Amino acid sequence: PQSANRIAAGEVVERPVSVIKELVENSLDAGAKHIEIAVEGRGTSLIRVQDDGSGIPAAEMPLAVLRHATSKIRRVEDLDTLSTLGFRGEALPSIASVSRLALTSRPPGEISGRILRLEGGQRVSFDEIGAPVGTTVSVENLFYNAPARLKFLRSDNTEFGLISDVVGRIALAHPEVAFKLTHPEQTVLQTAGRGRLLESIGTVLGKELARRLLPLSLEQGIWSLAGYLSPPDLVRSSRQAVTFIVNGRCVRSPVLMRALEEGYHTLIPVKLHPLAVLHLKLPASEYDVNVHPAKMEVKFAHEQALADFLTAAVRRTLLDAGR
């Protein structure tokens, strides 16, 4: 099983940013309202994610680091109605197999917590410990036993850039959660968690910019779309500034990207890229995120109709703003 974990680790945890994404998604699944992420260097010396979520009962902690031991799917049917970000039960065991990991947790109602320490996926200790309610995962020496992974990593700046980009996007996906990212002792990002998307956009992308964005909101049948768009004169030269969020999950979608740009290009002939943060809500049965272990790519059941809906929403928002 340890070799299977390390193979899975190659897919689930490509680099430090993937570890952070998985840990933060676990915190969100646990209903955390505050999530603090500490990173040292490029993330290989230390990544620590602390939350105030539901915690893990002592008896379940050893299971949480076992392969496919997810607590989020009880039956196969659950896959269709799944509302959690995780469901594969691969992240913790994969990360544990290529690091020194400490999982500390205390569910509300318990008087003390537990700390489970692993090295290369092997248990080192499991003890009682004083801990705040919630869960802290600390990952040290990431990829110490995976030299090929280490070699593939870029500089501290590049790796941390990827990390702050992803944390920023996740913060935009969850304005109701207060995020804090530190590197190493400096606060790089801190959102208020007051549930206001525009406020989070101001924190993540800049206040000046947030002030100029156009609100978009449209519902049609099972689809609901809400967020903010750049006005036509605030277009960019790269696609980096677009965040699509589907039911709380940041996704990459060439289909949605094309639909968004088409909405602009019917009004502005130049081929530049808009800035947008868009939350799309639709039934879980309408899309599939299972296409890649990193769960970023999404496939929609009614792709073309959805694309048309987005294009129309964008066009209407821009036309209304132009009046």
What residues make contact with ligand ADP under the rule CB under 6 A? 22, 26-27, 30, 51, 53-56, 64, 70-72, 86-92, 135
Cβ atoms within 10 A of the Cβ of 196, count?
13
Binding mask 83-122 for Mg ion (x = CB under 5 A): ---x----x-------------------------------
Which partner, ligand ADP, Mg ion, none, binds residue 8 by CB below 5 to 8 Å per kind? none
Q: Which stretch binds Mg ion (CB under 5 A): 81-89, 192-200, 205-213, 301-309?
A: 81-89
The dihedral region occupied by 71, where left means phi > 0, alpha psi between -120 and 50, and beta the remainder, is alpha
The residue range among 11-19, 26-34, 235-243, 275-283 that interacts with Mg ion, by the rule CB under 5 A, is 26-34
Q: Which is nearer to Mg ion, 21 or 183 (CB)?
A: 21
Distances in Å between the Cα of 158 and the Cα atoms of 44, 48, 76, 153, 170 are 13, 19, 40, 9, 19
CB 160 within 8 A of CB 40: no
Shortest approach of ligand ADP to residue 263 CB, angstroms?
A: 35
DSSP string covering 134-157, please? EEEEEEESTTTT-HHHHHH---HH
CA 140 to CA 296: how far, in whole Å?
25
Three-class SS state of 100: strand
Amino acid (1-letter code) at residue 215: P
Q: Which is nearer to Mg ion, 297 or 308 (CB)?
A: 297
Residue 39 touches Mg ion, criterion: CB under 5 A? no
Q: Of 78 and 303, which has the nearer Cβ to Mg ion?
A: 78
For the bound state, the minimum distance from the C-beta of residue 171 to ligand ADP, rounded and expressed in Å, comes to: 17
Residues that bind Mg ion (CB under 5 A): 26, 86, 91
